[in-house]
A and B are shown apart, each in its own frame.
Chain A
């Protein structure tokens, strides 16, 4: 018998995220860990949801207003509602999407449940963000790297704790796509409830799960150096081009985001 590929004994970020989003794809260890973290930062549930809504709005903006038809979604996470290809293909069925993750549970679910429209294409590749060249090489089977590509990196750069390494990775990936491509990032920050967030982070990092970090808005701005940030720049997720159709008071969350064009 082969080694079990999916570890259900250690809590896992994708499954905790799924729990916070109200999904059912999580184990008791994940819910326990998720609840523990919420006891420090209860607003994370709102933040997780705001991050998903940002994904939808960003994809809509890229397809509808910028004519993007190719997506490289790194750090896919477990399927939920309105996944990247669903939002994109609803507007333009010919969109091509490559999902990248290194979690076997995510890949198994993505391959089974994230099916493309017949006009477009979806591929799911097993790769680590720390090896960006591999991502580009594998994605090239589905995406045309001579045409603009939207790179989606939601809640993933926070797992690259070393700032220099993070810059190098972004440099590699942005270097592989042509002018007119886009980079979208969302990231948990120190801009909101900094103290409890720091305690929660320390707890997370001592729990045996993949190490992660929070960054300031200024640090996030550095990720976008050399690109043209789309209005309104780097902001708390609900402030990024909110839907006029859904009026209501905007409440800031811990996750910040930005979308930028490669000149």
Chain B
């Protein structure tokens, strides 16, 4: 089953999201409000809301109490939920990088590792998962203008570690659309740019990596103005998540009404961008120019 495989790579995130979705269905079936559920576990309705979205970990005792409240008495059903809760609390590998992972970024890390399909649109930088160490170091330094040098290395290591999922046996599909300006903006100088573009051309050889270049001639496209990432999960009952990163925080959208416009934008961007084969030629041409 794809389930177990995903959970294993994903760390606790998918387990959390699945358990959250399960608890929400049980609560709704039982006709119980979030506030009522909150009282039973000595918490607020919004805490229940966060639990059901898989944003936080679960106390086993809380899950146990909620199951009783929702009228789930079958031993096997309860055991499944408790097992998910245990997985949901397992430490994730990125905990090691705790110092450099802001709290608003942590959910993204988990979901990215758990996704079946990652679609991203970037207008300024090469997407993190496609960056070379040299390019990534330059971008991280740019973002950390005033900070200590010592913060650069752990961030770089974390970014490279994230990329490992592209080489695991059951990799996610990465479908990136990059604006032509990404190929033209010089990050770190000619040598670093040459290495970066060569790296992207090589990654396109992987069956699960697709890069499409949106040429300047395609005109403008509103995508909220900046970079967008959409994550899709294999699990049928997990919704797509749109991730919008800002300078000091991030926005996560997962209501279908909110994510659908982004999905539409991704589809029209993909239709307007060069097809994957032409995009490789464009990258080669840029390489020759540099």
| Chain A residues with a Cβ under 8 A of chain B | 1-2, 4-6, 8, 22, 24, 27-28, 104-105, 108-109, 111-113, 115-118
3 closest residue pairs by CB, A with B: A115-B207, A112-B210, A5-B271
Q: Are B175 and A4 in contact (CB under 8 A)?
A: no
A3 CA to B267 CA in the complex, in Å?
13
A28 CA to B256 CA in the complex, in Å?
9
Chain A residues in 8 Å Cβ range of B272: 2, 5
Question: Is residue B236 contacting chain A, with contact meaning CB distance below 8 A?
Answer: yes
- Residue from A27, A108, A118 in contact with B270 in the complex, judged by beta carbons closer than 8 Å: A108
- Residue from A4, A22, A27, A116 in contact with B236 in the complex, judged by beta carbons closer than 8 Å: A22
A4 CA to B219 CA in the complex, in Å?
12
**Chain A: minimal CB distance from B188 (Å):** 29
Question: Is residue B284 contacting chain A, with contact meaning CB distance below 8 A?
Answer: no
Q: Are B240 and A113 in contact (CB under 8 A)?
A: no
Chain A residues in 8 Å Cβ range of B236: 22
Q: 17 A–B contact pairs at CB < 8 A?
A: A1-B221, A2-B218, A2-B219, A5-B272, A6-B267, A6-B271, A22-B236, A24-B240, A108-B267, A109-B270, A111-B210, A111-B275, A111-B277, A112-B175, A112-B212, A115-B210, A118-B205
Q: For chain B, what secondary structure do more than half of its interface residues adopt (helix, strand, loop), or is it mixed?
A: mixed
Q: Are A113 and B210 in contact (CB under 8 A)?
A: yes
Question: Is residue B161 contacting chain A, with contact meaning CB distance below 8 A?
Answer: no
A117 CA to B68 CA in the complex, in Å?
51
Q: Assess A117 versus B207: contact at CB under 8 Å? Given A2-B272, A6-B271, A111-B276.
A: yes
Question: Is residue B55 contacting chain A, with contact meaning CB distance below 8 A?
Answer: no
Q: Are B260 and A27 in contact (CB under 8 A)?
A: yes
Question: Is residue B173 contacting chain A, with contact meaning CB distance below 8 A?
Answer: yes
Q: Are A24 and B232 in contact (CB under 8 A)?
A: yes
A162 CA to B9 CA in the complex, in Å?
52
Q: For chain A, what secondary structure do more than half of its interface residues adopt (helix, strand, loop), or is it mixed?
A: loop
Besides A27-B264, A108-B270, A113-B210, 16 more A-B contacts (Cβ < 8 Å) are A1-B220, A2-B218, A2-B219, A5-B271, A5-B272, A6-B267, A6-B268, A6-B271, A24-B232, A24-B240, A105-B267, A111-B275, A111-B276, A111-B277, A113-B175, A115-B208
Chain B residues in 8 Å Cβ range of A105: 267, 271
**Chain B: minimal CB distance from A206 (Å):** 26
Q: Are B218 and A8 in contact (CB under 8 A)?
A: no
**Chain B: minimal CB distance from A182 (Å):** 26
**Chain A: minimal CB distance from B236 (Å):** 6
Q: Are B175 and A104 in contact (CB under 8 A)?
A: no
Q: Assess A28 versus B271: contact at CB under 8 Å? Given A111-B276, A112-B212.
A: no
Q: Assess A104 versus B271: contact at CB under 8 Å? Given A1-B219, A8-B264, A111-B276.
A: yes
Chain A residues in 8 Å Cβ range of B256: 28
Chain A residues in 8 Å Cβ range of B220: 1
A1 CA to B175 CA in the complex, in Å?
23
- Chain A residue, CB-CB nearest to B177: A112
Q: Are B173 and A5 in contact (CB under 8 A)?
A: no
A6 CA to B276 CA in the complex, in Å?
18
A28 CA to B259 CA in the complex, in Å?
12
A28 CA to B276 CA in the complex, in Å?
28
Chain B residues in 8 Å Cβ range of A5: 268, 271-272
Chain A residues in 8 Å Cβ range of B212: 112
- Chain B residue, CB-CB nearest to A4: B268
